Structures are given as structure tokens and as C-alpha cells.
Amino acid sequence: MVESSFAEIKDEIIETRHYLHQHPELSDQEVETSRFITEYLLNIGYRIITPVGLKTGVIAEIGEGKPVVGLRSDIDALPIKEATELPYSSENEGVMHACGHDFHMASLLGAARVLKEKEADLVGTVRLIFQPAEETHVGAQEVEEAGGIEGVDAIIGFHNKPDLATGEIGILPGGLMAAVDQFKVTFKGVGTHAAMPQFGKDPIIALAGTVSAVQTIVSRNEDPQKTAVVSITHIEGGSTWNVLPENAWFEGTVRTFDKQARQVAKERFYKVIEGQAASFGVDVEIEWIEGPNVVDNDPKLTEIVSEETQKHLQLVKPTPSNAGEDFAYFSQKIPSVFAFVGSNGNSDWHHSDLRVDDEGLLVGAKWYYYTALRLLSELKTTGYVRIIGVNSK
Ligand code: NI
């Protein structure tokens, strides 16, 4: 019966995604997207409860009382010029849904439709959280600070996964997506004529040595059983061929899944770089920006969600991704499960030619729907509450 409801809305979900794809908006600027979602949900009978403090994004509810299960989708796009040549390509020049958040929105709106049909069966409240600004990693916190997750007992979300086949859903307990740290390092020396290096202090030689030296953090300091990656992605220094510059800098990122590995990486990073700078007699400034934490799936909740998923859909064990996700912010506060939904893409996230498979939308919608119902009844009967911190890594 429910399956036929999904079959009936399939075309509409696809159309909805194409519309959203055509009208992408950058992080914290999702004004039209939010308006579209609000109207859509009002039309099908949802209560819109978006807090006034939340400038973009939409929060809506259906059902009554406790427990409350949160279903989250992100809504923002990227500053990328679309190169898919799809008939529904972005109409907003230089902005593209290159991470497939349009896929997530359309799936959640589809689930919302079927949940509305089954409203009488709900043993609690389902809260839809259309979160802004995932790409800039501030949206989850914006939602929380505005009061958007108050009272939520458990929360789920997913990201489409281009390297999973359509139909597959990947779930595992613990870390699914990495903790993200970002750094910028500036070596400050003394500029001089290239022919007379003895009169200066060369920041380029210090930088060059450091680029290799920081790779020993992963190979020599981290536990080989734990994942860590250090990538330097951008280097600048100097402006011409015959002058040694005063400054040179690089930036990049560290990805880890384990709290201790994250700590080791940071500590060793500072030590290695300060040591390198001292040995070359230059000063150094290190900026370290902590990004999202690990997306950490609650083990008990994951077991329940996996069991339910398997009844209706094709559950697979995914490879964790070294990319970050600010859903981690929710997963630190509320028992949560994050999943990967196969989108059978031609390239990876953030590529200008990324095309995702529309057939996967229904899988995402069903996952939201079945999981929401199961968690409501589970929470109603067992009242399971996670002790925050037990599972934190
Ligand atoms: Ni994304």
C-alpha cells in the first residue's frame, strides 16, 4: 500500500529535483529554495515552525507529541559553473548543485508527502529539518542556535553517494565521515637578491622542507590502524625569478576519524613546523581552523535503523568517506544515524559535470519514511536515550 503511494509520487519527486537543480543558491542565501520548500509543505498540510532566528532553511512538523524524530536534508549549492549540459542545468550562473543537495531535498519532500498520507499512523512527531549552509559548515549550528532541534529525540540524514549503485544504502556504526581541520602556515623571513642569499632568510627553502616533513605525521606518528590524511593543497611565495621573498605560505587540510588521531595530527603539525622554521632561522605563523567533527553513528540506533532498512531496501556496508559533513554537529548532540544513498554518479561530489541518477530519489524518500516510522515506535516503546559522550570518539 505504501509502496504504491511511492510509485505514484515518483514523477513528481523527479520534477521537484529538476526544479531545485535549476535554481541553486549558495550557503546562507537559500531564500528562494526556502520559499519553495515552505510553500510545498504548506500545500500538503504541514505545520511550518521555522524559528524567526533562522534566516534560511525550513523546519516543519507533522503528528503530535513525543517522541520527536528529526529528518534532515541540506539545501545549499556550490560556487561552481555547471558543465553537465542537462536540460535542467543551473539558471543561476556560477552556482550549481554539485553535491546533490537537490537530491536530498527532493527525497525528503517525497517522504513528507507519504508521511502526510499516513499521518493517522504516527505515534509521535516527525520534524523535517531543511538545513542551510552545509557547505560552509555553519548551517547545523545555525539550526541548533535558533532552537530548530529542541525536543528532537533522534535524528537521521543522508548524503547521496555517486560511487554507490542506485538502490543501495550504506550504513555503519561509528564514524561514517571524517573530522575536518584546516590550516594555513606562513613563513616569515628576510627578502634579498637571489644572487646573495647570505643577506636574507629564505622562507621558500623552509616551506619546501616542511611540505615533505609534515607527511611523516601520518607515516611515523599516527597509529597505523587509524586513518589520517594530511594534504597541502595551495602554496604561494615570491613574485619573480631573481628575488628571494620575505614570506611564503601554504594551506591545506587534515582528515581523521579518531579523536586521538586528530589530537596527534595537530600536536605533531605544530612541532614539525616550528622545528623546521627554527632550523632555517625564519619565523612562522600557524592558523588552525577546526571544522566539523566526525559524523558518528550511534551504535544502538544504527542497529535499529539497519534492521528496518534491510526490510525494504538494499543495505550495504559502505567505505567511510574522508570528506566532512556538518551533520556531525547534530550527531554530537542527539542520537543519530547518517547514511549514504546510492546515486550512481558519473563523477564525484563537487565536480562541475556531476550527474546523479533520478531513480535513487525514491530510495532516499523511502529510507526517510520507513526509518521515521520505525524510530517513532521504537522510541515510544523503549524510550531509548543515548548517554551523550559514551560513544564520542
Ligand atoms: Ni554535500
Mean pLDDT, residues 11-21 taken together: 98
Mean pLDDT, residues 194-219 taken together: 97
**Residues 114, 2: contact at Cβ < 8 Å?**
yes
- Cα 381 to averaged position of ligand 1 atoms, centre (Å): 34
Per-residue burial over 32-63, b = 16 or more CB atoms within 10 Å of its CB, e = otherwise: ebbebbbebbeeeebeeebeeebebbbbbbbb
- Cα 262 to averaged position of ligand 1 atoms, centre (Å): 22
Burial of 292 (0-12, 13-18, 19+ CB in 10 A): buried
- Cα 159 to averaged position of ligand 1 atoms, centre (Å): 7
- Cα 268 to averaged position of ligand 1 atoms, centre (Å): 30
- Cα 18 to averaged position of ligand 1 atoms, centre (Å): 17
Residue 1 has a pLDDT of 77
Whole-structure pTM value: 0.91
Q: Which amino acid is at 384?
A: Y
**Whether the predicted pLDDT of 329 surpasses 60:** yes
Bridge partners (DSSP) listed for residue 186? 249, 285
Q: What is the grid cell recorded at 283? A: 619565523
Closest Cα to residue 13, out of 130, 111, 159?
111
Q: What is the grid cell recorded at 356? A: 546523479
- Cα 181 to averaged position of ligand 1 atoms, centre (Å): 17
- Cα 96 to averaged position of ligand 1 atoms, centre (Å): 12
- Cα 391 to averaged position of ligand 1 atoms, centre (Å): 24
- Cα 203 to averaged position of ligand 1 atoms, centre (Å): 37
**Residues 49, 8: contact at Cβ < 8 Å?**
no
**Residues 166, 359: contact at Cβ < 8 Å?**
yes
Closest Cα to residue 338, out of 370, 379, 368, 373?
368
- Cα 127 to averaged position of ligand 1 atoms, centre (Å): 21
* Mean model confidence pLDDT for the chain: 95
**Whether the predicted pLDDT of 386 surpasses 60:** no
- Cα 74 to averaged position of ligand 1 atoms, centre (Å): 8
- Cα 370 to averaged position of ligand 1 atoms, centre (Å): 23
**Whether the predicted pLDDT of 343 surpasses 90:** yes
Residue 147 has a pLDDT of 97
**Whether the predicted pLDDT of 388 surpasses 80:** no
Residue 188 has a pLDDT of 98
Q: What is the pLDDT of residues 71-91, one digit of tens each?
A: 999 999 999 999 999 999 999
DSSP 96: B
- Cα 160 to averaged position of ligand 1 atoms, centre (Å): 8
Angle at Cα 269 formed by Cα 267 and Cα 272, nearest 5°?
110
Bridge partners (DSSP) listed for residue 337? 156
- Cα 104 to averaged position of ligand 1 atoms, centre (Å): 9
Q: Please report which confidence band the pLDDT of residue 382 belongs to, taking 50, 70 and 90 as the band edges.
A: confident
> What percent of the chain shows pLDDT beyond 90?
95
- Cα 206 to averaged position of ligand 1 atoms, centre (Å): 36
**Whether the predicted pLDDT of 384 surpasses 80:** no
- Cα 194 to averaged position of ligand 1 atoms, centre (Å): 46
- Cα 388 to averaged position of ligand 1 atoms, centre (Å): 26
